[in-house]
Amino acid sequence: MAVMESTAPSGTRLPSARDAVRGRRWDDARRESPERMYAAFLAEGRTADEALRFLVALLAWPIGADAGLLLRLEHGEATVLAEAMEQVPAWSDPALRDAAREAAAEAARRLGHDRFTLSEGDEPLPAWCAWALGAPGPDAAVLLLFVTTSPDAAVVRARADRVVDLLAVAVAGRHPLPGGARLSTRQLSVLRHLAEDLTMRQIASRIGFSESTVRMESLAIYRVLGVHDRHEAVSVGITTGLIAATR
């Protein structure tokens, strides 16, 4: 019987099956969307400070975020709920931090009836962008991020809006389903299987329904949760506690 000779140099170790699995997991982690990573993080019951710090870290590369403030407006007066300003040494300057808090409060008031606003470019502080977390108004929660690049509203929103939406749900501390709607037992089962990245046929086989029924229930889930695809549905499901985060 012929023996296959190893082409590896003498003294080197051939990769094992465990190495291959570990490599696949690393590749999967690198492909994980920021929304899914953040949803899983929030599902672990994080504090406001932890949630804000992780959000700044997630958005450091896409939009150049390096510091952030989370505020609550009460009849126009802003209270800081959390801040993440320790990552960059410059933010340790007390005068700069005070100026940043005032800018954040002013940005919160400027939001008015809009969900998003950004700095005008002629302010002494770094550029910033701000979101109303939920409906804008006199008692809104507001996120303000300082960024290292000149923000373009379209680019910032395309890269950050969905992650910010998850923070909005966490800050609200309430179920986001519109009109008191709830998922049925069957829909919850389908959602749990969607989180496992199973195909519609695989889900149908597991729960004992036809593939067309699973597709119909998936579309119903998207409508109830106000999302457009399975990844958004899973993110909302994990964040709101409808399903457990997958590991």
Q: What does R_g of the chain's alpha carbons equal in angstroms?
A: 23
Q: What is the pLDDT of residue 56?
A: 93
Residue 204, φ and ψ in degrees, nearest 5? -60, -40
| CA-closest candidate to residue 114, choices 93, 92, 95, 140 | 140
Chain-centroid distance of CA 59 in Å reads 10
Domains and CATH numbers, the chain: 34-172 (3.30.450.40), 178-239 (1.10.10.10)
Burial 188-200 (b: 16+ CB within 10 A, else e): bbbbbbbbeebeb
pLDDT tens sequence across 116-135: 888 887 778 889 999 988 76
- pTM of the full predicted structure? 0.59
pLDDT tens sequence across 151-168: 889 999 989 988 888 888
Element (H or E) spanning 19, and its range?
helix 17-31
